[in-house]
Amino acid sequence: MARKNLWVPEVVMFLLLFGCGRHLALADVAVTIRGTIIEPTCSVTGADGNSRTEVNFGNVPLNAVGTAQARQPLRMKVACDSVAPSGKTLKMYVKPVSNGTMAYSGRTVLGTSMTGLGIDLADSDNQVVPPQTWVGISGVDTSTDMPSGDVTLQATLVSANVAALTADSFTASASVVVTYQ
Span 75-132, pLDDT tens digits? 999 999 988 888 888 999 999 999 999 999 999 999 999 999 999 999 989 999 999 9
- Alpha helices per DSSP H over the chain: 8-18
CATH number of 42-180: 2.60.40.1090
Domain boundaries, given as residue ranges, for the chain: 42-180
User: Taking 70 as the threshold, does the pLDDT of residue 21 lie above it?
Assistant: no
Q: Which of 2-16, 32-46, 163-177 has the lowest mean pLDDT?
A: 2-16
What pLDDT shows up at residue 129? Answer: 97
What pLDDT shows up at residue 144? Answer: 86
Task: Report the candidate in 113, 112, 114 with the shortest Cα–Cα distance to residue 155.
Answer: 112
pTM score, two decimals?
Answer: 0.78
What distance in Å separates the CA atoms of residue 171 and residue 56, rounded to the nearest whole number? 10
What pLDDT shows up at residue 5? Answer: 59
What pLDDT shows up at residue 145? Answer: 87
